[in-house]
């Protein structure tokens, strides 16, 4: 991947940092005061460690054993409102969860949910998951979730979707053999691209019949994105893969 000197980079990243295009929003409507307070008081405490290039230029791996006390580690990519992460943390206290989400309004929402639920095993990276992939040790993640990702519906934007080599190659690296990768989407063309690309990058689709992608997982809770899809008449698909 190409790198550029920070003098020539409008984003001001330090020298040596990979040049990565980012698509999508980082900020939405003005935050409520309580959400601003969550960001100021809780976000740093719930960081997984030095992830940003300027804080970790040598890309030293995260110490997950110290971070989670030896727990198995799960990863959620783009956690949205955070209801799924909090549900998993409450249901599986024996697991440590890391979530990556660049949309700061969603991060603030998750922080509020964490406070309300009183869960203590979630860590948050408020940025691009590719930066997190850089510092997660190889084979360190036992399960990953990609739930209702941005569909980028226009054909010319399909390369921006998560299910592309730029994301799937490092995801496969950080997942241990046998790890589960769950994808939920209500967009038929996203299903098509997922089924084409994910198996090419070290994964096996576990479906044996139609019910396996029509029926949600036993520990699933509907998210606000799924509820919106159902209101608008779109059909959710639940795809389960295993890291070879």
| Predicted TM-score (pTM) of this structure | 0.90
- Amino acid 47: pLDDT: 96
Q: What is the mean pLDDT of the chain?
A: 90
Beta bridge partners of 97: 74, 122
- Amino acid 7: pLDDT: 32
Mean pLDDT of 115-130: 96
- Amino acid 57: pLDDT: 92
Structural domain spans, the chain: 26-243
Q: Which residue has the higher pLDDT, 139 or 15?
A: 139
Q: pLDDT tens across 77-101, in order?
A: 999 889 999 999 999 999 999 999 9
Q: Which residue has the higher pLDDT, 26 or 176?
A: 176
User: To the nearest whole percent, how much of the chain has pLDDT over 70?
Assistant: 89
DSSP-derived pairing of the beta strands 72-77 and 95-100: parallel
- Amino acid 14: pLDDT: 57
Is the pLDDT confidence value at 220 over 50?
yes
- Amino acid 3: pLDDT: 31
- Amino acid 184: pLDDT: 98
Is the pLDDT confidence value at 152 over 90?
no
Q: Would you please indicate which residues are annotated as catalytic (active-site) residues?
A: 150
Q: pLDDT tens across 190-214, in order?
A: 999 999 999 999 999 999 999 999 9
Which of the listed CATH numbers 3.30.750.24, 3.40.50.150, 3.40.50.300, 3.40.50.1950 matches domain 26-243?
Answer: 3.40.50.150
Is the pLDDT confidence value at 23 over 80?
no
């Amino acid at each position: 991947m190409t790198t550029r000197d920070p003098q020539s980079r409008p984003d001001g990243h330090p020298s040596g940092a990979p040049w990565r295009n980012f698509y999508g929003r980082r900020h939405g409507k003005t935050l409520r005061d309580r959400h601003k307070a969550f960001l100021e008081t809780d976000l740093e405490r719930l960081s997984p460690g030095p992830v940003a290039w300027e804080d970790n230029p040598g890309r030293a791996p995260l110490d997950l054993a110290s971070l989670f006390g030896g727990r198995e580690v799960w990863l959620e990519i783009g956690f949205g409102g955070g209801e799924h992460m909090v549900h998993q943390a409450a249901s599986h206290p024996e697991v440590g969860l890391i979530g990556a989400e660049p949309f700061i309004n969603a991060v603030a929402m998750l922080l509020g949910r964490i406070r309300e639920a009183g869960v203590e095993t979630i860590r948050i990276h408020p940025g691009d998951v590719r930066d997190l992939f850089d510092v997660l040790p190889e084979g360190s993640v036992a399960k990953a979730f990609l739930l209702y990702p941005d569909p980028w519906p226009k054909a010319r934007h399909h390369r921006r979707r998560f299910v592309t080599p730029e994301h799937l190659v490092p995801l496969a690296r950080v997942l241990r053999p046998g790890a589960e990768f769950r994808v939920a989407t209500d967009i038929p063309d996203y299903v098509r691209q997922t089924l084409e690309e994910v198996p090419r990058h070290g994964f096996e689709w576990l479906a044996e019949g139609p019910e396996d992608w029509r029926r949600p997982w036993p520990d699933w809770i509907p998210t606000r994105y799924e509820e919106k899809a159902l209101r608008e008449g779109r059909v959710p698909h639940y795809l389960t893969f295993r890291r070879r």
